[in-house]
Amino acid sequence: MQLFHSPTSPFVRKVMVVLHETGQLPAVELLPASGHPLASQNMPTAHNPLGKVPTLLRDDGPAIYDSRVICRFLDARADGTLYPEAGIWESLTLEATADGIMDAAVLMMYEIRCRPEEMRVEDWGEAQWQKIVRALDALETHWMDHLATARLDIGQIATGCALAYLDFRLGNRDWRGDRPALAGWCAEFTQRPSMQATIPVG
């Protein structure tokens, strides 16, 4: 298999963590891909019409894309346990919440990187941050029992990658603030070998 890969993408990192956790990293060749909507020449548009990473080329079928699809495929391929039948809707909803944090944070970065300063819309960027704030509050208020369970699932992986991306790209924003439980969980989760092995650089 081949994975179109950018080390700074939180969605790629989620896939990489799953590869580590399921022992499948040796089965995948990493293909560098980087860009954004205004510079897609180095993105896998021939395999993914959306021109996004991650995109996975399989040995026995067409390319698949979107980190949620790839992660579920990899877990099934390894007969893994990241999508437990008991509590599956909670795991998937937590993953969707974390992916929403990543989406909003990436859009904030695009606003900075893709638009000239005189064309940036501050209110739009703040609206994205407010999505993140609401999601973080929900994690602190409603999801700590799920996050703190000893059984690893895709919701925990996605949340760990989302929080780490905030530190990586939006470190000037204090997301921990009044969220001590979430901050404590993140500090512990990011010590997992799979998270340490996928720390972004750049």
Using alpha carbons, select from 173, 187, 159 the residue that is nearest to residue 102: 159
Count of domains for the chain: 2
Calpha distance 12→5 (Å, rounded): 6
Domain end: 58, 77, 96, which one? 77
Calpha distance 132→19 (Å, rounded): 27
Domain end: 28, 49, 77, which one? 77
Task: Report pLDDT for 45.
Answer: 80
Each of the 202 residues of the chain gets a pLDDT tens digit; together they read 999 999 999 999 999 999 999 999 999 999 998 766 655 666 788 888 988 899 999 989 899 999 999 999 999 999 999 999 999 999 999 999 999 999 999 999 877 766 666 566 778 889 999 999 999 999 999 999 999 999 999 999 999 999 999 999 999 999 999 999 999 999 999 999 999 999 998 6
Domain hosting 47: range is 2-77
For residue 83, is it within any domain? Answer: no
Q: Are residues 145 and 117 both part of a single domain?
A: yes
Q: Are residues 48 and 108 both part of a single domain?
A: no
Q: Are residues 180 and 102 both part of a single domain?
A: yes
Q: How far is CA 86 from CA 68, 81, 89, 90, 159, in A?
A: 19, 11, 8, 9, 19
Domain end: 77, 109, 140, which one? 77
